[in-house]
Every structure is written in C-alpha cells, then in structure tokens.
Amino acid sequence: MPISFVVAALGGEIEIPTLDGSARIKIPAESQSGKVFRLRGKGIKGVRSSTFGDLHCHVMIETPASLTDRQKELLREFEQINEADSARHSPRAKSWMDKVKQFFE
C-alpha cells in the first residue's frame, strides 16, 4: 500500500482495501518503507477451516513528484538540517557494531 512521505515520517491513519470492504490502520511515526502490518482475521478463509486468516499490508513510501520551487526549497533545507546530525536521523547511518555498543551501554 503506498503511503506519503509525511504519513511515514509523522504517523497517521490510512484506509486499505480488504476482501470484505476496507479497514483503517494506524501508521506509527518514523515508519520505514517495507514495514508490514498484520490485520487479524481480514485475510482469506482456510481451505479446511472456517476461520479467516490474516491480511498482511506492506507499506511503500511514495516519493513526491512534480514538486514546486517552494517544495524543493523546503526539502533542501530539510536535507541540510539532517546532514548536521545524520547518525541521529538515519536508521542506516550507524554501523552494526555501533548499534551493538549502544545496546550494551
């Protein structure tokens, strides 16, 4: 399910289609592309079962397109702020060993 950059960063609620209509799920702040949400009982019914399975919703962050000059300016400013302390803001900036050290501190 595609979600906007803003919803991924700040959190929000989205509506997703299901087999019996639609459902709303809460997207927590700072969600990453590829995160999977499980909706219990919203999947298909088992072949030899009367219960419904789970529906797994994979979220993908959409990159904005056709930006205005103001939007580009704001994104450049945002990037400059992030560069000042990239290890704090980027989940991939820290090495595996740095994460292990942080765990034991």
pLDDT tens for each residue of the chain, 105 residues long? 999 999 999 999 999 999 889 999 999 999 999 999 999 999 998 888 889 999 999 999 999 889 999 999 999 998 888 887 766 666 655 666 676 777 777
* Separation in Å, CA 29 to CA 17, 36, 48, 100: 22, 14, 39, 24
Residue 13: what pLDDT?
95
Residue 59: what pLDDT?
95
Residue 96: what pLDDT?
64
Q: Whole-model pTM above 0.85?
A: no
* Residue ranges of the chain that CATH labels 2.60.260.20: 1-63
- Specify the CATH class of 1-63 in words: mainly beta
90 sits in the region (left: phi over 0; alpha: psi -120 to 50; else beta) called beta
Residue 102: what pLDDT?
74
Say if CB 7 and CB 62 are below 8 A apart: no
The tokens describing 81, both together, are 């702020």
Residue 93: what pLDDT?
58
